[in-house]
């Protein structure tokens, strides 16, 4: 019975996500759903992308948090369209929250929209929002066991950003084993090691996004 209820909720969510996706497609905006634990560095990674790409592309950010507008305030300082959703205790964003947010957000004029999900590696993996792709953000201090323990997000993501690479010398973290575990779950997963402190991987991250934006524009 419980399983049936969950299936119904996810089906209803998927139907709304499909409507969101249609709106994004009509406006030619590429949308990424960033998922990771609290403190993994999702907001910092978005900031890196904005600094690299804001001269070339029109970028917007929807921030999902349980409380506060701190992340949206950080992003807004970079001069891009920003909107904060507070879930009031909710541990993930759902498609309906995004649909409501879109009524007051000028997504039509964007090339690239980031949706930063609530810090949580579990249920955000199951809720489609209408995005082109999910991006999983994992940071080195969290440990290399995450793909084995939380396989769903690694299976559903198109890119894994391995953040805080500058901390590898100080942590018991096996980069190659972690990549291999992630690829075992999802052989199509792209992987980029990044450090928002040293700038490592920033070019590669910007190139990955640029490729996606160009692919969308050529599709028309």
Contact 111, 213 (CB under 8 A): yes
Our CB check for Mg ion shows the closer of 163 and 186 to be: 163
Q: Which does 91 bind (CB under 5 to 8 A by kind): Mg ion, Zn ion, none?
A: Zn ion
What's phi and psi for 79, nearest 5 deg? 80, 30
Alpha carbon distance 136, 52 (integer Å): 20
Q: Which of 19-27, 95-103, 116-124, 129-137 is the region at the interface with Zn ion (rule: CB under 5 A)?
A: 116-124
Q: How many CB atoms within 10 Å of residue 80? A: 21
190-193 and 81-86 strand pairing: unpaired
Judged by CB under 5 A, the number of residues near Zn ion is 3
Q: Which of 17-25, 45-53, 72-80, 85-93 is the region at the interface with Zn ion (rule: CB under 5 A)?
A: 85-93
Q: Which does 43 bind (CB under 5 to 8 A by kind): Zn ion, Mg ion, none?
A: Mg ion
Q: Tokens in use for 197?
A: 């402190």
Q: Can residue 92 be called a binding residue for Zn ion (CB under 5 A)? A: yes
- What residues between 32 and 51 interact with Mg ion by CB under 5 A? 42-43
Q: Can residue 71 be called a binding residue for Mg ion (CB under 5 A)? A: yes
Report the Cα–Cα distance between both ends of the chain, in Å, rounded. 44
Our CB check for Zn ion shows the closer of 121 and 160 to be: 121
Q: Can residue 15 be called a binding residue for Zn ion (CB under 5 A)? A: no
Torsion (CA) 33, 35, 39, 44 in degrees, nearest 10: -30
Q: Which of 19-27, 73-81, 120-128, 164-172 is the region at the interface with Zn ion (rule: CB under 5 A)?
A: 120-128
Q: Which of 94-102, 121-129, 170-178, 210-218 is the region at the interface with Zn ion (rule: CB under 5 A)?
A: 121-129
Q: Which of 40, 30, 45, 100 is nearest to 78 (CA)?
A: 45
Q: Which of 14, 46, 27, 34 is nearest to 130 (CA)?
A: 14
Q: Can residue 123 be called a binding residue for Zn ion (CB under 5 A)? A: yes
Q: Can residue 171 be called a binding residue for Zn ion (CB under 5 A)? A: no
Helix (H, G, I), strand (E, B) or coil at 159: strand
Write out the residues near Mg ion by the rule CB under 5 A: 42-43, 71
- Per CB under 5 A, residues contacting Zn ion are 91-92, 123
């Amino acid at each position: 019975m419980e399983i049936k209820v969950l299936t119904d909720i996810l089906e209803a969510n998927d139907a709304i996500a499909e409507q969101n996706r249609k709106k994004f497609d009509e406006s030619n905006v590429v949308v990424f759903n960033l998922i990771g634990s609290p403190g993994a560095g999702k907001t910092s990674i978005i900031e890196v992308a904005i600094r690299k790409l804001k001269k070339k592309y029109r970028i917007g950010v929807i921030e999902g948090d349980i409380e506060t507008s701190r992340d949206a305030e950080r992003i807004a300082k970079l001069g891009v369209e920003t909107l904060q959703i507070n879930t009031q205790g909710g541990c993930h964003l759902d498609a309906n929250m995004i649909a409501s947010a879109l009524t007051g957000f000028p997504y039509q004029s964007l090339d690239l929209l980031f949706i930063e999900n609530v810090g949580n590696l579990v249920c955000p993996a199951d809720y489609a929002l209408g995005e082109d792709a999910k991006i999983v953000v994992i940071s080195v201090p969290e440990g290399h066991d995450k793909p084995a323990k939380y396989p769903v997000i690694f299976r559903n993501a198109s890119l894994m950003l391995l953040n805080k690479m500058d901390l590898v010398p100080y942590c018991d973290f096996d980069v190659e084993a972690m990549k291999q575990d992630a690829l075992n779950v999802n052989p199509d997963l792209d992987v980029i090691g990044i450090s928002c402190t040293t700038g490592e991987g920033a070019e590669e991250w910007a190139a990955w996004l640029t490729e996606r934006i160009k692919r969308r524009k050529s599709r028309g």
